[in-house]
Amino acid sequence: TLVDIIRALWLKAGPVINLDLRANPERLAKGDAVRFHAKVLAAIKAGDESGAREGIAADINNAAEVILSRGGLPEQ
């Protein structure tokens, strides 16, 4: 099911997100993720499949750009 897929992806991505946000707490204050997530949620509610896909891709790309611009994730 979709929930199982999301759960499996979260188990893989969650630790990376945690490391990133610990190293870059200003990302939460800046609010990019909140805006991306709001757009995705609105697209899902509207049945806009491509809008949801684009919003998720934009969120992932934004996080990747920030992580890479800082030289990667910190060592644990």
> Looking at residue 50, what is its pLDDT?
96
What is the C-alpha end-to-end distance of the chain, expressed in Å?
33
> Looking at residue 76, what is its pLDDT?
59
The 10s digit of each residue's pLDDT in 14-57 is 888 787 777 777 777 777 788 888 999 999 999 999 999 999 99
Three-state secondary structure readout of 32-66? HHHHHHHHHHHHHHHCCHHHHHHHHHHHHHHHHHH
Lowest pLDDT segment from 41-45, 59-63, 72-76: 72-76
Closest C-alpha among 35, 39, 44 to residue 55 = 39
Instruction: Read off the pTM.
Output: 0.68
In this structure, are residues 68 and 23 in contact, taking their beta carbons and an 8 Å threshold? no
Indicate whether 61 pLDDT > 80.
yes
Domain ranges of the chain: 2-69
